[in-house]
Structure 1
Amino acid sequence: MFGLKAWAVVLCVATALTVPPSAGQAKTITGTASVIDGDTIDIHGIRIRLHAIDAIESRQRCFLPSGKAWNCGRDAAFALANKIGRAPVSCSVRDVDRYGRLVAVCRKDGEDLNAWLVASGWAVAYRRYGRDYIRQENAARKSQRGIWASEFMMPWDWRRR
């Protein structure tokens, strides 16, 4: 059974993980990342949703011009996992989403992974939450990289179906 001091520590840690940082008080989490899906990672047991992007869902499929389906959602997660490898990832927390996940811009060796996913055609700019990655999306679409070489349903529409 927990004593009063133990409960106080648990409460402090839980509060620190659920309250978004205020302006000028950015929180950074760094460590080895496990990829959950194309726009969610886990560092030290903490779920982190990548800010202002929306990747194709893991079970979602895309369709090539020939009509052939491919597992683009699964491939988006694999692409992120391959990009990260075993290198440390550093995430600057921006917010906490309605599911309690931290929302962050994450970097590997200084490179913005959120931007990389969109520029590579593995995710779209999530304009509802930010306009940070529209330029990368436009370039990926124009070059038909990743999902842009296929027909697909926007991830937010796919989740609502």
Structure 2
Amino acid sequence: MPGLIVMLTMLVLCSIVLAGELTGRAQVINTDTLEVHGTRVRLWGIEAPDNSQMCRDIKSNLYRCGLNAASDLEGFIAEREVRCLSVLQDECGRTVATCSADGIDLGEWLVRNGLALDWTQSSTGPYHAAQRAADRAGLGLWAGSFAVPWLYRACIRLGGQPASCSDDANAHP
């Protein structure tokens, strides 16, 4: 019986440690979701285009902005170790965290390069300055036109098709 108590105590302590930090090689699932040691982690503070979402570039050509952004993130992370801090569960039961590679915040990197948006869309948002810089420089999504990810997902939920829900030249802020 004492062995069982020790083992259960160790399991509880280990889960508490894992709840605070998760470190290791990461697989990019999509632009705002990584998998580290079998745990899917949604990047805190950002909204990113879905893999099926299309956007228009500066020449109005359609491209898979969500898939391209995920690929860019994968290239940025490469073989580096990813460290996710403040791992918690959101209201939907998803694991959410701020993650970095070589000390660079991945959410901030995505927003600064125009590959994702600050989720609050307010001047007090965690990545507001990075989003303004990307918008002003015409980087990534800001080089052309796009539907903001939450409107794209709402359109899909209402029965829309990716091509018709993806692009709206007047939809982004």
TM-score by length of 1: 0.81
1:152 is matched with which residue? 146
Q: Judging changes above 3 Å, is the alpha-carbon distance between structure 1 residues 108 and 65 closer, same or farther for their aligned structure 2 residues?
A: closer
Q: How far apart are 1:93 and its partner, in Å?
A: 2.3
1:114 aligns with 2:114: no
1:93 is matched with which residue? 86
1:133 aligns with 2:127: yes
What per-residue deviation string (whole Å, max 9, x for no partner) do you get for residues 102-122 of structure 1?
Answer: 111101111111100000010
| Distance (whole Å) between structure 2 residues aligned to residue 142 and residue 128 of structure 1 | 15
Structure number with greater CO (CA < 8 Å, separation at least 6) is 1
| Distance (whole Å) between structure 1 residues aligned to residue 141 and residue 93 of structure 2 | 28
| Distance (whole Å) between structure 2 residues aligned to residue 128 and residue 150 of structure 1 | 19
| Distance (whole Å) between structure 2 residues aligned to residue 29 and residue 54 of structure 1 | 21
| Distance (whole Å) between structure 1 residues aligned to residue 103 and residue 83 of structure 2 | 8
3-state DSSP class of the match of 1:148? Answer: helix
**Residues matched between the structures, number:** 145
| Distance (whole Å) between structure 2 residues aligned to residue 53 and residue 94 of structure 1 | 15
Instruction: Report the identity percentage.
Output: 35
Gaps in structure 1 of 5+ consecutive residues: 22-26
Q: How far apart are 1:128 and its partner, in Å?
A: 7.1
Shifted more, 35-44 versus 58-67: the winner is 58-67
Q: Is contact 2:32–2:47 with CA below 8 Å preserved after alignment?
A: yes
Q: Judging changes above 3 Å, is the alpha-carbon distance between structure 1 residues 128 and 118 closer, same or farther for their aligned structure 2 residues?
A: closer
Shifted more, 139-148 versus 97-106: the winner is 97-106
Could you say what the CA RMSD is over the residues aligned between the two structures, in angstroms?
2.5
What per-residue deviation string (whole Å, max 9, x for no partner) do you get for residues 39-95 of structure 1?
Answer: 100000001000010111110000134331011110000011000001100001253
Q: Is contact 1:33–1:41 with CA below 8 Å preserved after alignment?
A: yes
| Distance (whole Å) between structure 2 residues aligned to residue 156 and residue 106 of structure 1 | 22
1:103 is matched with which residue? 96
What per-residue deviation string (whole Å, max 9, x for no partner) do you get for residues 9-28 of structure 1?
Answer: 6xx67xx48xxx6xxxxx01
What per-residue deviation string (whole Å, max 9, x for no partner) do you get for residues 121-154 of structure 1?
Answer: 1000000797110000000000000111011000
Q: Which has the higher Rg, Structure 1 or Structure 2?
A: 2
Shifted more, 135-144 versus 85-94: the winner is 85-94
Q: How far apart are 1:158 and its partner, in Å?
A: 0.5
Gaps in structure 2 of 5+ consecutive residues: 156-173
